[in-house]
Amino acid sequence: GDLVQNLVPTRAGADRQVSTSSRVDLMFHTEAAFHPHRPRYLLLLCLRGDPQAVTTLSSVHEVLPLLPAPVVGVLFQPRFRTAVDESYLHGRTNTLGPAMPFLSGDRARPSMVFDEDLMVGTDTEAEAALHVLGDAVRAHHIGVALEAGDLLVVDNHVAVHGRTAYTPRFDGTDRWLQRAMVVPDLAPSAGDRHGRVISTLFGE
């Protein structure tokens, strides 16, 4: 529930698909892809960097022209479901969210929602389209090794991000980021919000 979250590697998260991981690549994802009030912008402020830890980014505007038209057609249909990031469950059982499209909005400049780890297709054709998209994202991305003082702003509607693996020391000198999530309008989340913190419950 913190407005600004401190991200450092932990022993418990080292080999998992969580923000405190280190020894595994963090797969490409939309921040909080499963969330009905997912952020428009993701802010990552680097307080202490690690040259091994490269933040990876891929834009739908770069990937979309590479996809076959039939695949794009499937991606615009509500044939995908996403599980919940375990950090939002607080001990509850994970469940798949409602079916939704991967792409939405203007067909020439769409928005996208993607989570390489948590998203599944609802049928074999949708699952195949998801794999084609995932291959394109992994093949066409950029990377930046954040250094102390760098602020990375990600448009969470059009870009997915990840991170390469790195070797943690767990001695108080590891990579340290501060993360904040921004929405342009708080009104849609009024029923799930306490003050300025959105606190939607997930899982069963």
- The full DSSP string for 6-52 is EE---TTTTTSSSTT--SSPEEEE-TTTT-TT--SEEEEEEEE--TT
- Over the stretch 2-60, which tens digit does the pLDDT of each residue have? 889 999 999 999 999 999 999 999 999 999 998 888 999 999 999 999 999 999 999 99
43 Cβ contact list (under 8 Å, min separation 6): 151, 152, 153, 154, 179, 180, 181, 182
- Over the stretch 152-193, which tens digit does the pLDDT of each residue have? 999 999 999 999 999 999 999 999 999 999 998 877 888 877
- Give residue 26's pLDDT: 97
- Give residue 85's pLDDT: 82
- Give residue 2's pLDDT: 80
Average pLDDT over residues 92-107: 91
Average pLDDT over residues 71-83: 97
Statement: residue 147 has pLDDT above 80: yes
Statement: residue 1 has pLDDT above 70: no
Relative to beta strand 159-163, strand 26-29 is antiparallel
Rounded percentage of the chain residues whose pLDDT exceeds 90: 79
- Give residue 84's pLDDT: 87
- Over the stretch 14-25, which tens digit does the pLDDT of each residue have? 999 999 999 999
The domain 5-183 is classified under which CATH number: 3.60.130.10, 3.90.79.10, 3.30.565.10, 3.30.2320.80? 3.60.130.10
Question: What are the distances in angstroms from CA 181 to CA 40, 45, 136, 158?
Answer: 8, 12, 26, 15
Per-domain residue ranges of the chain: 5-183
- Total-model pTM: 0.92
pLDDT-derived band at 89 (thresholds 50, 70, 90) equals low
